[in-house]
Amino acid sequence: MDTPRPHPSGSLAQLHLIDEEKKFSQELSTYVDQKWNLKDAGFNYNVLAVFGSQSTGKSTLLNRLFGTQFDVMSESSRQQTTKGIWISKGKDMKVLIMDVEGTDGRERGEDQDFERKSALFSLATSEVLIVNMWEHQVGLYNGANMGLLKTVFEVNLQLFGSNRGKEKTLLLFVIRDHVGATPLANLSNTLKADLDRIWQGLSKPEGLENCKILDYFDFSFTTLAHKLLQPERFEEEVALLRQRFIEPSNPDYVFKPQYSKRVPADGLHVYAEAIWEKIVTNKDLDLPTQQELLAQFRCDEIANLAFVTFKDSIRDFRHPIESGQLVENLGPKMREIRDVAIKSFVKDASRYHAEVYKRKHAEVLTKANSMLESFFVGQLKNLHKKAVSQFSSELQQALKKDGAEFGAVSATAKDNATAFFLQGAAAIKLEETDWEYEEEQFQLEQDLQEFAATQREKELSKMLTGLEKQIKKDLEDPIKLALDHPGPGMWGRVITTYHHTMSRAEELLHKKARTFELGQEEQQTLEENLRRQGWVLLTMKVQEESVDGLLLYKLLNRFEEKFQRDERGLPRVWKPDDDIDTPFRKARDETLELIPLYAKIKALDPTTGEEFSLESTDDFDFDQSLRVLSETRQQELTTQLKRKTDASFVEAKRSVVSTQVKVPYWVGVALIILGWNEFMAILMNPLYLSLTLMLGLPFGILWYLDLLPLVQRIGWKAYDQAMEFGREKLRDVVHSSEPVLVRAPQQRILEEEQGRPQDFLHRHSARSLSSHGHERGDTRDDGEGLEMSSFEDKKNL
Ligand SMILES: Nc1nc2c(ncn2[C@@H]2O[C@H](COP(=O)(O)OP(=O)(O)OP(=O)(O)O)[C@@H](O)[C@H]2O)c(=O)[nH]1
């Protein structure tokens, strides 16, 4: 009958590791960790097992030796107490002791199965096997103990056969109730002989036929006095024996390194359970494989634990890097996090199977590196972006300074940006990684080059636009001036202006060429383009100055200059006997001769006097650009000019007629006599006198300065404007009441005006001129249109 055991707690807690049903306890890990505090012991602990027949005082011995509290059979019941395997930790020592069910078969009948399995398990896990036996059992070759030892040897061969000489176990024979009659030496010799005989009788695996027992076992023998008969001696000998378990300096210290099964304390539960699992299921038990499996399992567990902290630590990097920011000190931070993880792995995993550990160490490093690599890559990208933006702002800033040379400035900015990138990249490259940043560096350099080229293009185009503006400005006034004073040297002045302007622009371009490091060819192309562009600007200005009204104005101006002013440049007042026809014809013919002059630009080189030209391109035809006026326009201008000059001629004639009217002298005498009284009345009356002076004085001055015709013309003009205004008003009133009939002619005129301005002006002027004679007999009429009035206005001003 089983009696329930009172379980001790704390460090002396014992665990029923394998129960009667051969079930392995799931609590070993908890006991190792929490009750025995061996979690961090690594290899710094030992395991032993005790074997022997039932009720031979095994538990009593263990309790005495190690301070454990294994159940001891009561003297009266003589019933087996230890069933299965119990395990406990020695008091104040890092030794795990397994109390194995005693052999005999009395309680289990003929079930030798458990005996074999427990022997196998003990050999696989323990460094020392204590074989407990009574003195009187020594030499009983056929006794229960010998059967047990035969089993132990057999399973040992099964386990460590191939590890001959490498894996050894110590068999410590404790001979109990030694009375002293037979010395220990004799007893041990007897036992050795028995053991040897057993060994010889074993059927050994192939290839191990000649192996020796000492290839696998070390033997040690000791005796203990009778516990009941010689209690004091018993205690003394137990105390001495205890020293062999706790004192490494003791020459008979039992836990020699060669017996270690190399199972770290934190992996014991995995290892022991796996071993038992194999044993119970009768599978081949291969300890090296088991140790490797254990190492793999534990290394993975340890690595996973290390990675929990690792992942936590790197979480903060993700957001800033993904949002394009640079993480300060990323390299040192990553290095520290990785080191912590590796150290934590190494601390616990390095105790396991060396090969497996080495492999797992590499795996952990690779995994940590690959998890960090995304940050390395992200940071590289951000460094790249930052370097480009730094390059851009440095370049733009530097280009704002006077005299900045693009090539030098861009090279410095590029060096700075590349150095910034390389410094940042080197700082985040960790040791023991295959991380590279050469590709990114190459890409960066390409980007910087591309950016610099684009920037150079922009700056160059900005500079060219500036030059064009300058050219336009430089051409504007001189060309206007030259065209305002037509004559044989007109185009010469225009071309000279062009050449001067272009040489100034080219000089500037040369200066800038150094800044932009322009090549010979590029510079030449730019110069050619600039010359062409300058020429286009020139022709545009010429065209602008030659629009219909403006050119007509210039020509009429020229005509007026010739016709209305004398040789000294004074205005002419035509007298009755003056010849108006000849100066008129001369002035008109000279003016008409100017039209063909205006019609085409005469491109003569001012220095050589030879014709020059610019190379034509797809969108630039030099010959075409020389043409200012078409044949049709020339004819139109001729007609218009003739009409206008005719008007001037008529006006000159009319002014002669008006000055021809003379008052006879007697009319003056008659006026004085008849109006004497009125004359005196005016002189005597201050009001009349002041009125007469106010009106008469300006009139007299105008008459004296010969400005009366001018005032008269202004008067007529004002009258014309007033009439036109009145007519417009009247038309509006009439149109609003008869929209279709009355508006039609006006509408047609407007359409003509919009569609064909030249024809309109021509017809309109013709109509005006013909109506002018009928209405007032002078050159002014409402049909002269805007062109004539503006011409008149300008002239008068
Ligand atoms: N003669 C003698 N009896 C002892 C000695 N030590 C213990 N005993 C007695 O032997 C009996 C069995 O002791 P246990 O320590 O329970 O023996 P055990 O081998 O652990 O027994 P199981 O666990 O049942 O196999 C007890 O009654 C002890 O008092 C000893 O040195 N000499």
77 is in an annotated binding site: no
Q: Which of 415, 318, 304 is nearest to 376 (CA)?
A: 318
Ligand 1: which residue has its CA nearest to atom 4?
57
Full-model pTM: 0.57
The per-residue pLDDT for 778 is 38
The per-residue pLDDT for 678 is 83
Q: Which residues line ligand 1 (CB under 6 A)?
A: 54-60, 72-73, 75, 80-82, 102, 176-177, 226-228
DSSP calls for 708-730 = HHHHHHHHHHHHHHHHHHHHHHH
The CA 242 to ligand 1 mean position distance, Å, reads 18
The per-residue pLDDT for 660 is 53
d(CA 296, CA 221): 38
Radius of gyration over every alpha carbon of the chain, rounded to an integer in angstroms: 64
Pocket test for ligand 1, best of 50, 72, 236 (most atoms within 8 A of CB): 72
ipTM of the complex in this document: 0.96
The CA 79 to ligand 1 mean position distance, Å, reads 10
The crossing angle, in degrees rounded to 10, of helices 581-599 and 631-660 is: 160
- The minimum-distance atom of ligand 1 relative to the CA of 72 is 16
- The minimum-distance atom of ligand 1 relative to the CA of 52 is 19
Identify any residues that bridge with 611 across adjacent strands, giving them in sequence order: 604
What ranges in 46-111 are assigned the alpha helix state H? 58-66
Instruction: Tokens for 709, please give them.
Output: 């015709």
Pocket test for ligand 1, best of 16, 20, 56 (most atoms within 8 A of CB): 56
DSSP calls for 499-513 = HHHHHHHHHHHHHHH
Ligand 1: which residue has its CA nearest to atom 10?
57
- SS3 string, 346-383, reads HHHHCCCCHHHHHHHHHHHHHHHHHHHHHHHHHHHHHH
790 is in an annotated binding site: no
Q: Which residues of the chain have pLDDT under 70?
A: 1-11, 73-82, 104-112, 141-144, 161-165, 283-285, 657-663, 735-797
- The minimum-distance atom of ligand 1 relative to the CA of 78 is 27
The per-residue pLDDT for 344 is 92
54 is in an annotated binding site: yes
58 is in an annotated binding site: yes
Ligand 1: which residue has its CA nearest to atom 18?
55
d(CA 710, CA 702): 9
- The minimum-distance atom of ligand 1 relative to the CA of 73 is 16
